Structure 1
Amino acid sequence: MKVKISLIALVAALSSCPSLSTSAEGAGNAQIVTGDCNIVVNSATPKSFPAQYCPKFSVAKDAADALAKIERYIEASNPTKLDLASAKIEKWASDSEDYLTLSLSNTSTLPAQRVKIRFLAPVNPGENQSHQINFSPSRAVPSAMLKNLSIGSKDTTKIPVAPVSELIRYSRNGVPADYEFIGAGTTPNAPDDMTQQYIQGHGLTNNYTFQSTASSLGVQILYGTIFGGKVSLLTGVYLYFGKVTANQPIDGTEREGIIE
């Protein structure tokens, strides 16, 4: 026999009892109502039921306010993200010397607009802000293009940013005078293939000692979004210096190279 219970009777029963009866007799489906939200709890034939989300949306003052809220949601749901994919020393056709070249990757689904790159010096004792470092621009990329640089969705762009001679001159402080410039990268330690190429360039494959150090520069990548927002990414690049010397064999036999 089916038992019909009105909503008023159900509320009265719920308010007067500490818990619902779990006995099979008289069990039925109960509807839970609060405001405009309701769910049905299946107790007659127990089975799982989905939770019901009942959001209460913010009230828009007018059409412009509603549009602004929608834009903020879309912007928050679709962040524009640039990453520093690599930092390498490369030769560009229009330049007389090699340039530090940064590869910027747009990993998002929206374009990054008005991309700018700034170099920042490490903060010295007594300073609370890094100062900007300026390097001679490359001739390979027109200045007008750099002023309005955009990187499309899922695209990667290479940008020559600093000549090697100026990088070395700026970064020599604290580096032993007999250390040579090896290259650049995005990690504190030079990649193994870079050090091996440097060592082999000196005609050594065994019986050597390699010493190295690194100098760092801050990089600030600034760009805009299609929503009018602005993003600042702070990261860094490393300049590698090293020295390789041939070891004098003690017993006339060759030994493996030593990397310090």
Structure 2
Amino acid sequence: MLKITKDQFTKWTIPSKASYIGLWVGVIGTVLGAVGTGLAIYFYLNPPKTPPTSCDEFVRNTHPTVVSLKGAKFQGWLGDPDKSLTLEYANTSKFTAKSFSVRVAYKGKTFDAFKSNAFEAVNMANLSIPGNGSLELPVVPLSKIQEEVSGTVCGIGFYPADLDHAAPEHCGSGEVQSSIIKVKATYTSIFEEKKELQSSLWLYECLNCQGTDNAFSIKRLPLPEVSNAGTVR
């Protein structure tokens, strides 16, 4: 655009001055219009969050999203070379538990996140459990757990192997040692509440046992009674 000096501008006729000023007004208006359009598109795609209504609060308080650990086992999955610690979770509420994930720790070590080949087509970041539904999820390969123990892993359960709770038959005869394995599940409710479920399992390890075959037995806990729980698969 032509830049003029003050002296040049003063020598122009009134119509020329008006045209020049109108040109700049038009340019500024175009820029402001473009900025306004950009802001409108941004807020359309990213609307500001509104506070929950009293109705939202009532539904959230009367229908909490509750997920429970229902079962644990070592199981093989299609496409995987090794069996995996597989956990079964049940959503005993009406609403979906979103962004569901599980991490496992043993003796202070947290195992790396694991994705089974059977879940190749699943976006694990968007994993969810529907209301009144359940999910079986492989979380750690058995070989990774076996690397952390001196004996042979022969089972998993909700109780230690003691006088009240016998070790699985798969462990064979001999000394069976129990050790705690920690499990943390995290998920988000439809109300964007971030929730966490801490659980403890017992890993059965056979020391100098005969007939051990890396047991893959299931130990189940009864689900807690929750109102409007519905039917769990």
Measured against the shorter chain, the TM-score band is 0.5 to 0.7
C-alpha deviation, 1:121, in angstroms: 4.6
Question: Is the partner of 1:218 in helix, strand or coil?
Answer: strand
Whole-angstrom distance in 2 between the partners of 1:233 and 1:98: 24
In structure 1, the gaps of 5 or more residues are 1-63, 124-130, 200-208, 247-260
Residue 189 of structure 1: which of 139, 156, 161 is its match? Answer: 161
C-alpha deviation, 1:74, in angstroms: 1.4
Question: What is the aligned-residue identity percentage?
Answer: 23
Task: Report how many aligned residue pairs link the two structures.
Answer: 159
Aligned residue in 1 for 2:136: 158
Greater relative contact order, per chain length (Cα 8 Å cut-off, separation 6+): 2
Which structure dedicates a bigger proportion of its chain to helix? 2
Cα offsets for 1:171-203 (capped at 9, x unmatched): x1xxxx4x32202223223865x622332xxxx
Do 1:135 and 1:163's aligned partners in 2 also have CA atoms closer than 8 Å?
A: no
Whole-angstrom distance in 2 between the partners of 1:214 and 1:148: 34
Whole-angstrom distance in 1 between the partners of 2:81 and 2:192: 38
Do 2:105 and 2:111's aligned partners in 1 also have CA atoms closer than 8 Å?
A: yes
> What TM-score do you get using the length of structure 1 for normalisation?
0.55
Residue 182 of structure 2: which of 195, 215, 218 is its match? Answer: 218
Whole-angstrom distance in 1 between the partners of 2:152 and 2:107: 22
> What TM-score do you get using the length of structure 2 for normalisation?
0.60
Written as runs of structure 1 = structure 2, the 5 A alignment for 1:95-244 is 95-122=80-107, 132-142=110-120, 144-170=122-148, 172=149, 177=150, 179-189=151-161, 192=166, 195-199=168-172, 210-243=174-207, 244=209
In structure 2, the gaps of 5 or more residues are 1-49, 212-233
Whole-angstrom distance in 1 between the partners of 2:114 and 2:66: 27
C-alpha deviation, 1:136, in angstroms: 4.2
Assess, with a 3 A threshold, how the Cα gap between structure 1 residues 240 and 135 changes in structure 2: closer, same or farther. Answer: farther
CA RMSD in angstroms comes to 2.5
2:86 partner letter: T
Written as runs of structure 1 = structure 2, the 5 A alignment for 1:53-64 is none
Question: Is the partner of 2:117 in helix, strand or coil?
Answer: coil
Structure with greater Cα Rg: 1
